[in-house]
Structure 1
Amino acid sequence: MIQPQPESPARPEDAMMNAADLRALQAPLKQSYRDNPAAARIPARAVGRIEPGRIVCHIDKPHGTITAGLHAAVGGDGTLACSGDMLLEALIACAGVTLSAVATAMGVSLTGGTITAEATWDARGTLAIDRAAPVGITDLTLRFDLDTTADAATLERLIATTERYCVILQTLRNPPVVTTVLA
């Protein structure tokens, strides 16, 4: 009896991937960007909706709506997403995907692991209690705890390469020019 073959995953992130698979997936993209550097400038956009009478912001995403609200340290009840936490989540998501791609390209076998982002911010700044208190995150640590048999030198190179190519980490280290516009 012929056994049915499993279907190929529709999305690259669903497939088990090795270095050759990753290179094959990315090769046409890399060539396209070499041939047309302007095509490599990818626009990013997010839109938030305010809700009259509430201190919230709704962000509609393909996988659902995220509702952000005040952090408990500044009057929230802790049930809504906090934008500071979302920043850390974006960082670990980007670092995790980048690390996985770099490990795959390097042939480093990962059997699991965690990435933790921890930060500190001073509520006195955001509550306008003390003008000398900073507004925003002042200390951030990104910790990798990886399950692997790779040696220390390989892990050092893996982390350094991940840091180099993680979009969110590089954005935090080298902030963009930010413009605000009232439409």
Structure 2
Amino acid sequence: MARNLHERQAPLKETYESDPEAAQVTLTATGDEAADATACSVAVGEAVYEAELHEGAGGSGTAACSGDLLLGALAACSQLTAQAVIENFGVDATVSVRVEGDLDLRGTMGVADVPVGFQDIRLDATLSGDLDPETAAAIQEATERYCVVYRTLVDTPDATTEWAFEKSAEDEI
């Protein structure tokens, strides 16, 4: 029988309290070109996802665009965090999450001086169960407090870029 989440997390929490460096992780995603300039593959963890430009930017519409992947990350993180919070609270409840985002493709396409990126993101969570209003509010507060992707979007960290420019083997001949 699988251990419950609390039992799985307890030794991790003890380790992180006694050795804060053990809690420091670096996640990595890599993108690689595909045969078509409108598509790429993205390796995240052990999985590889196909991504492409949004249809409104020239993609075919057969794979997720980067905006879909961002919204998907927020939906997954919120869903998983809420599920963990519910289990750790020991209440009988379920949750489902829907995320939507609005963007103006004119900015991405360089045809108008409008912001590039999402102008608005909406996360709608539905909590079901026999919960009193205080418990439901506590689940919401804890989920929003501990969801990594939500916190990253709300409390934007510094982002840096580094570009390396290499000559191709053909250029050196």
Q: Deviation at 1:147?
A: 2.1
Which residue of the other structure, out of 129, 135, 141, is the alignment partner of 1:148?
Answer: 129
Instruction: Provide the secondary structure at the position in 1 that maps to 2:71.
Output: helix
Q: Deviation at 1:51?
A: 2.6
Partner of 2:73: 90
- Let me know the Cα RMSD of the aligned residues: 1.7
Counterparts of 1:128 and 1:151, CA distance in 2: 50
Give the percent of matched residue pairs that are identical in Structure 1 and Structure 2: 37
Which residue of the other structure, out of 35, 46, 50, is the alignment partner of 2:29?
Answer: 46
Q: Deviation at 1:60?
A: 3.0
Structure 2 letter corresponding to 1:83: S
Counterparts of 1:130 and 1:61, CA distance in 2: 33
When residues 53 and 98 of structure 1 are mapped into structure 2, their CA distance, relative to the original with a 3 A threshold, is closer
What are the residue-to-residue correspondences of 1:116-127 with 2, within 5 Å? 116-127=98-109
When residues 33 and 103 of structure 1 are mapped into structure 2, their CA distance, relative to the original with a 3 A threshold, is same
Matched length:
164
User: What's the CA shift string for 1:40-91, capped at 9, x where partnerless?
Assistant: 1111111111135522120135664311111112222211211101111111
What is the TM-score of this pair, normalised by structure 1? Answer: 0.83
Which residue of the other structure, out of 57, 61, 64, is the alignment partner of 1:78?
Answer: 61
Structure 2 letter corresponding to 1:107: G
Whether the 8 Å CA contact 2:74–2:149 is kept in 1: the answer is yes
Which residue of the other structure, out of 122, 133, 138, is the alignment partner of 1:157?
Answer: 138
What is the TM-score of this pair, normalised by structure 2? Answer: 0.87
When residues 148 and 91 of structure 1 are mapped into structure 2, their CA distance, relative to the original with a 3 A threshold, is same
Gapped runs of 5+ residues in structure 1?
1-7, 10-14
Q: Report which stretch shifted further, 114-123 or 44-53.
A: 44-53
Which residue of the other structure, out of 157, 160, 163, is the alignment partner of 1:179?
Answer: 160
Q: RCO higher in 1 or 2 (8 Å CA, sep ≥ 6)?
A: 1
